[in-house]
Amino acid sequence: MSLRSQIIAFLILVLLAIGYGEIRYRNGWYAHSDQMNAAAAKKQKKAEAKLEPIEQKAATAKDEGKVIYKTITRDVVKYVQDPNHTKCDFDAAAIRLRQQSINAANNIAGFDDATVQGK
């Protein structure tokens, strides 16, 4: 065997070793990546499960609030369109409408709960 064939054989072995090492490295990296993605998906699923009842509660409270606000809006429109109110003063009806809207905003069920991060 000549020196030239020995060098070529050595270079082929070195290239094979480098290729094998690269393949092992990438396989390990992809396995780690898959593991991290699975953990993130599990964590996201758990967070969504925690939020689901809160979102349902908020949707219910929003629907209840719509009814109250429709009533208040109807009363305000009637008040504003009344021809007897030509002056912009605060009579008893205006104060009552204002207080109704404040009470409605402060008493929507489900929005006084603690935040999710605090639980």
Tell me the pLDDT tens digit for each residue of 49-93: 888 888 888 777 777 766 667 777 777 777 777 766 666 666 677
Winning range, highest mean pLDDT, from 37-41, 44-48, 56-60, 115-119: 37-41
Tell me the pLDDT tens digit for each residue of 7-30: 999 999 999 999 999 999 999 999
The secondary structure element, H or E, covering residue 90 is: none
What is d(CA 45, CA 37) in angstroms, rounded to the nearest whole number? 12
Instruction: Give 63 or 44, the one with higher predicted confidence.
Output: 44
Q: Checking phi first, is residue 105 left (phi over 0); if not, alpha (psi -120 to 50) or beta? A: alpha
> What is the number of alpha carbons within 13 Å of residue 39 lying toward its C-beta?
6
Would you call 6 helix, strand, or coil by DSSP? helix
Instruction: Give 32 or 59, the one with higher predicted confidence.
Output: 32
> What is the number of alpha carbons within 13 Å of residue 80 lying toward its C-beta?
7
CA 60 to chain centre: 18
Tell me the pLDDT tens digit for each residue of 81-97: 776 666 666 667 777 77
pTM, 2 dp:
0.41
